[in-house]
Amino acid sequence: MTDSARLIYVYDPMCSWCWGYRPTWLALQQQLTAQLPELIIEYRLGGLAPDSDVAMPKDMQQFLSQTWHKIASQLGTEFNYDFWQDCQPRRSTYPACRACLIAREYGLEQAMILAIQQAYYLQAKNPSDNDTLINAAVSIGIEQAAFTERLLSEEVNLDLISELEVVHQLPVRGFPSLVLEVNGEALGIPLDYLNPQTSLDAVVSALG
């Protein structure tokens, strides 16, 4: 296998399908690490929705709530539907994306993803709100003042924009997505929400 091969997991921390895919993705990572220990696995943000203070329209709220029910039915994923009564939803995932970028600096990106997902999908808290993200950061061991300063900084916002520009050049049609970069080529890897073997076979095959 070429030394430069890497598998990129493209996600958004507020993507409900990413939450549904989490158990299979964890299983796939374990299998890849065991079978292809030299393969680099990287996380990259997709950025579902830019910053917005506008309340989410009722029809979009209904659509997303139905999506949660669909994922729960198909994958067995747990959701707390109180979110739609307890919170004021906004179509804004960039704050949560910036939180994950900051956590990456601490080597805690995966922990931050889970903290945001649990706050959103299990605790009915809104990750579009900075307070939710700050609490998530503290829960995984990041100092509150330092995190808050970074979260509000233009530097981290520019880092996110730069990452999104790179991701938009990849063969990504939605989130989550898997992209294998090998020998200077970016290959889309098929993804099965219930079976890690599909993606594993495709990666192994591509690497020959």
Q: What is the DSSP string of 59-82?
A: HHHHHHHHHHHHHHHHH-----TT
pLDDT at site 171: 96
pLDDT at site 3: 58
Report which secondary-structure segment, H or E, holds 41.
strand 40-45
Is the CB of residue 132 less than 8 Å from the CB of residue 125?
yes
- Along the 208 residues of the chain, how does pLDDT read in single tens digits? 555 799 999 999 999 999 999 999 999 999 999 999 999 999 999 999 999 999 999 999 999 999 999 999 999 999 999 999 999 999 999 999 999 999 999 999 999 999 999 999 999 999 999 999 999 999 999 999 999 999 999 999 999 999 999 999 999 989 999 999 998 899 999 999 999 999 999 999 999 8
pLDDT at site 4: 76
pLDDT at site 173: 87
pLDDT at site 208: 83
Three-class SS state of 52: coil
